[in-house]
């Protein structure tokens, strides 16, 4: 009978150790899950910040391209005016030559 009690006592101790281990693993799992959630939140925040930075970069690039476009349009208008002036002068010269 004493051997059975000793065996049951040993079994009870092993069950207690397993139960303690399971409890510790559950606690660690909760901690890890919390850390994972925090890291996910940080990642979302970083992704949003990176997106804003990219948007700011695009705004800067877009503004620079719009300024360049405006400059090119103005240069085009100036060239068109000069060409019209030259054509008008050429017409006057042709009239003078043929007169």
Give me the DSSP letters along 17-33.
Answer: HHHHHHHHHHHHHHHHH
Q: How many domains does the chain have?
A: 1
Q: Give the rounded distance of the alpha carbon of 85 from its chain centre.
A: 52
Using the structure block, give the residue that is written with the tokens 């996910």.
40
Using the structure block, give the residue that is written with the tokens 């300024």.
67
How far apart are the C-alpha atoms of 19 and 98, rounded to whole Å? 115
**Residue-number span of the structural domain to which 30 is assigned:** 1-99
pLDDT at 11: 87
Per-residue pLDDT of the chain (99 residues; tens, 9 = 90+): 788 888 888 889 999 999 999 999 999 999 999 999 999 999 999 888 888 888 888 888 899 999 999 999 999 999 999 999 999 988 888 888 877
pLDDT at 86: 93
């Amino acid at each position: 009978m004493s051997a059975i009690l000793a065996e049951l006592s040993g079994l009870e101790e092993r069950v207690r150790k397993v139960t303690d281990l399971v409890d510790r693993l559950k606690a660690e799992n909760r901690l890890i899950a919390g850390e994972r959630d925090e890291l996910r939140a940080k990642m979302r925040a970083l992704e949003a910040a990176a997106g804003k930075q990219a948007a700011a970069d695009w705004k800067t690039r877009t503004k620079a391209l719009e300024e360049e476009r405006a400059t090119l349009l103005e240069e085009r208008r100036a060239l068109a005016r000069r060409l019209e002036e030259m054509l008008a002068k050429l017409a006057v010269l042709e009239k003078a030559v043929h007169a």
